[in-house]
A and B are shown apart, each in its own frame.
Chain A
Amino acid sequence: MSSLLTLLRPLSKRARLGIGILSFALPLLVWSLVSYVPFLWHPMVRVATPGDVSWFKEGMQLDKADFERERSKVAATAGVVPTGTPANPIFLPAPHEVATALYSAFVTPPVLKGDRWLHESLWQSIQTIFWGFLLSTAVGLPLGIYCGAYAAIARLSEPVIDFIRYMPAPAFGALMVAIFGIHLEPKIAIIVIGTFFQQVLVIANTVRKVDPALVEAAQTLGAKPRQLVWKVFVPACLPDLYNDLRILLGWAWTYLIVAEVVGVSSGITFFINQQAKYRNFPNVYAAIIIIGILGLAGDLLLAFVGERLFAWKTLRPSLTRRLFQRLLGNRTPLFTGEIPKED
Chain B
Amino acid sequence: MDSLSSLQTPEVAARFTRLKERPVVLDVRGLGRSFAGEQGPVTALENISFEVRRREFLCVLGPSGCGKSTLIRLIAGLDLPTSGQILLDGKEVHGPGSDRGMVFQGYTLFPWRTVKQNVMFGLEMRGEDKPMSEREALQWLHLVGLEKFADSYPLQLSGGMKQRVAIARALANNPRILLMDEPFGALDAQTRANMQQHLLQIWRNVDITVLFITHDLDEAIHLADRILVLKPHPGRIHELIEVPVPRPRSPGQVNDPVFRATKAHIESLIHPPAPLVKPNETLPLFRLTQRGDDVE
Contacts and interface: CB of A to CB of B under 8 A. Distances in A.
Interface of A: 211, 213-214, 216-224, 227, 231-232, 235-236, 238, 310-313, 315, 332-333, 335, 339-340, 342-343
Nearest to A311: B153
Contact of A332 (B76, B117, B126): B117
Contact of B110 (A224, A235, A311): A235
A222 B173 contact: yes
Contacts of B76: 220
A224 B111 contact: no
B257 interface: no
10 contacts: A214-B110, A220-B96, A222-B98, A222-B122, A222-B125, A223-B121, A231-B121, A312-B113, A313-B155, A340-B148
Nearest to B99: A222
B82 interface: no
Given A213-B106, A222-B122, A222-B125, A236 B98 contact: no
Contacts of B148: 340, 342
Interface string B130-161: 00000000000000011011011111100001
A89 B124 CA distance: 69
8 A-B pairs with the lowest CB-CB distances in the bound complex, closest first: A222-B98, A217-B108, A219-B96, A221-B122, A220-B102, A312-B153, A235-B112, A340-B148
A333 B169 CA distance: 20
Contacts of B113: 235, 312
Contact of A220 (B101, B146, B152): B101
Contacts of B125: 218, 221-224, 227, 231
A77 B49 CA distance: 117
Given A222-B98, A232-B110, 7 more contacts: A220-B100, A221-B98, A221-B170, A222-B97, A315-B155, A315-B156, A340-B149
B78 A335 contact: no
Given A221-B125, A340-B152, A332 B114 contact: yes
Given A221-B121, A236-B110, A312-B112, A335 B153 contact: yes
A313 B111 contact: yes
Nearest to A216: B78
B222 interface: no
A214 B166 CA distance: 12
Contacts of A310: 112
Given A214-B110, A313-B111, A221 B104 contact: no
Interface residues of B, number: 39
B68 interface: no
Contacts of B236: none
Nearest to B114: A332
B33 interface: no
Given A227-B125, A332-B116, A340-B152, A220 B110 contact: no
Contact of B102 (A214, A217, A224): A217
Interface in B55-88: 76-78
A265 to B, nearest CB: 46
A223 B125 CA distance: 6
Contact of B151 (A214, A224, A332): A332
A298 to B, nearest CB: 26
A220 B78 contact: yes
Nearest to B79: A216
Contacts of B104: 213, 216-217
A341 B58 CA distance: 34
Contacts of A313: 111-112, 155
A333 B124 CA distance: 20
Contact of B155 (A236, A312, A343): A312
Contacts of A216: 78, 96, 102, 104, 108
A311 B151 CA distance: 12
Nearest to A234: B112
A211 B156 CA distance: 19
Contacts of B145: 343
Contacts of B173: 221-222
A222 B117 contact: no
Nearest to B153: A312
B70 to A, nearest CB: 14
A218 B155 contact: no
B114 A213 contact: no
Nearest to B155: A315
Nearest to B166: A217
